Amino acid sequence: MRKFYVNLAERKYPILTGQGILSEAGTLLAEAGFDRAPIVISNAKIWRLHGAVLERSLKKTFGPATLIRIGDGERYKNHSTLLAIYEGMFRAHADRRSWILAFGGGVVGDIAGFAAATFMRGIPYAIAPTTLLSQVDSSIGGKVGINTKEGKNLIGAFHQPSAVIADIGVLKTLPARELASGLYEVVKSAAIRSEPLLSRLERKLPEILRCDAGEMEPVVVNTAKIKAEVVASDERETGLRMVLNYGHTVGHAFETATGYRRFKHGEAVAWGMLAALGYGREIGLLQPEECARLTRLIHRIGRLPSLQGIGVEDLWSALTRDKKFRGGSIRLILLRRLGEAEIVSGIRADSLRQFLRKFLHESSHAETRRRGDGTNAGK
């Protein structure tokens, strides 16, 4: 088992990773300071797969826990689910001394964290993340919230967990596409902060895609550490933390332009990174060989859903809903070299728009070619 800390201004909290540590969750959470049974918030699918192990461990340490199950998927991250969670908590006689354990992926973590942030003006919570994406990214940083029909995460808070228990073994039950989606976020973190992690991904990709625990654990730990460091230095996202959004601005636009149906979040981020890489090379910020190296790694992880049918107008109209894109001069996060990102201001809207038109055209074209000659490296 590995343990490291997220250092915040007011306090620090541990992130624990390891193969099979879910079966010791009770002990680990007691060590983190919890002294009674939690209110577990999970979804039906995760609970069926791994609920028994967690439940047994919690029971041994704390006695029986309350379980609140929510629907599986982003579309349940909304106000009615939140109200159902509150309802379940009141029914279980939760009070100021209660705490929540979020057990699931990003959706569960975000909504359970927001319930914790707002129940009786804030109670503690911990997260046992069960997807790669949530282990390396969404569980760390305290951003919690829900979606509205106007957009994702528009209602929320900053509420830091008191502990994160990431069981690497659980990742084995992830569908391949879900795992790949998480790996794109791993690549993003490596791209902005750690060339060595990027090299490791290149060397060990087959083992990682197989979820070999020995190879997966250092990847999770190193990626989570990158997030933890960035968050610690900028808890409320006023500056540095923005670099974590590498690939996300254009990625979000891909999601919006396709009504959130075509891409998983990580896949959209992958396309967003490919676009940012291309644009960085075009304006001479990034060396062509570095661009090619990262592009290759992204394509090795899996086959991304196609961009076909997305016109530059759709993409641009999605992009310009983003405040960063108002006015003629815009701001993007780009790589200066592999492992080092910077916020580039003063980008001219027309130059970016022209690049995206070309990018959409070439990506659709390359894809057709890849399909045609059967050289798809994905799984």
How far apart, in whole angstroms, are the C-alpha atoms of residue 233 and residue 55? 35
149 is catalytic: no
How far apart, in whole angstroms, are the C-alpha atoms of residue 222 and residue 25? 22
Residue ranges in 69-98 that form contacts with its own copies under rule CB under 8 A? 79, 83, 86, 90, 95-97
Q: Which is closer to its own copies, CB of 95 or CB of 362?
A: 95
12 is catalytic: no
Instruction: Write the binding mask 321 to 360 for its own copies: x where contact by CB under 8 A, - elsewhere.
Output: --x-------------------------------------
Exactly one of 159, 193, 225, 227 is catalytic; name it: 227
Exactly one of 245, 267, 290, 299 is catalytic; name it: 245
By CB under 8 A, residue 33 contacts its own copies: no
Q: Which is closer to its own copies, CB of 19 or CB of 118?
A: 118
Smallest gap from residue 192 Cβ to its own copies (A)? 22
By CB under 8 A, residue 260 contacts its own copies: no
Smallest gap from residue 119 Cβ to its own copies (A)? 7
Kindly report the backbone phi and psi dihedral angles of residue 53, in degrees, each rounded to the nearest multiple of 5, phi listed first: -60, -45
Q: Which of 50, 69, 77, 143 binds its own copies (CB under 8 A)?
A: 143
The residues with which 41 forms a beta bridge, in sequence order, are 68, 102
Residue 74 neighbours by CB under 8 Å, 6+ apart? 107, 147, 152, 260
By CB under 8 A, residue 118 contacts its own copies: yes
By CB under 8 A, residue 125 contacts its own copies: no
Are 127 and 113 in contact by the 8 Å Cβ rule? The answer is yes
Segment lying near its own copies (by CB under 8 A), choices 115-123, 125-133, 261-269, 310-318: 115-123
The residues with which 156 forms a beta bridge, in sequence order, are 145
Annotate 17-74 with DSSP letters as a single string.
EETTGGGGHHHHHHHTT--S--EEEEEHHHHHHHHHHHHHHHHHHHSPPEEEEE-SSG
Helices 213-233 and 195-209, packing angle to 10 deg: 140
User: Total residues at the site for its own copies (CB under 8 A)?
Assistant: 24
Smallest gap from residue 106 Cβ to its own copies (A)? 16
By CB under 8 A, residue 158 contacts its own copies: yes
How far apart, in whole angstroms, are the C-alpha atoms of residue 169 and residue 24? 13
By CB under 8 A, residue 157 contacts its own copies: yes
Segment lying near its own copies (by CB under 8 A), choices 131-139, 140-148, 250-258, 350-358: 140-148
Reported as type and span, the H/E element at residue 331 is strand 329-337
Which residue type is seen at 224? A
Are 101 and 126 in contact by the 8 Å Cβ rule? The answer is yes
Smallest gap from residue 127 Cβ to its own copies (A)? 18
By CB under 8 A, residue 280 contacts its own copies: no
Exactly one of 96, 121, 261, 323 is catalytic; name it: 121
Exactly one of 237, 282, 340, 342 is catalytic; name it: 237
Q: Which of 148, 317, 368, 376 binds its own copies (CB under 8 A)?
A: 148
How far apart, in whole angstroms, are the C-alpha atoms of residue 353 and residue 43? 41
Annotate 130-198 with DSSP letters as a single string.
-SHHIIIIITSS-EEEEEETTEEEEEEEE---SEEEEEGGGGGGS-HHHHHHHHHHHHHHHHHH-HHHH
User: Would you tell me how many other CB atoms lie within 10 Å of the CB of residue 59?
Assistant: 13
By CB under 8 A, residue 117 contacts its own copies: yes
Smallest gap from residue 253 Cβ to its own copies (A)? 17
By CB under 8 A, residue 119 contacts its own copies: yes
Smallest gap from residue 66 Cβ to its own copies (A)? 16
Q: Which of 14, 105, 106, 156 binds its own copies (CB under 8 A)?
A: 156
By DSSP bridging, strand 125-129 and strand 143-148 are unpaired
Q: Please identify every residue annotated as catalytic.
A: 121, 143, 185, 227, 237, 241, 245, 248, 252, 265
Binding region for its own copies (CB under 8 A): 79, 83, 86, 90, 95-97, 117-122, 143, 145, 148, 150, 153-158, 323
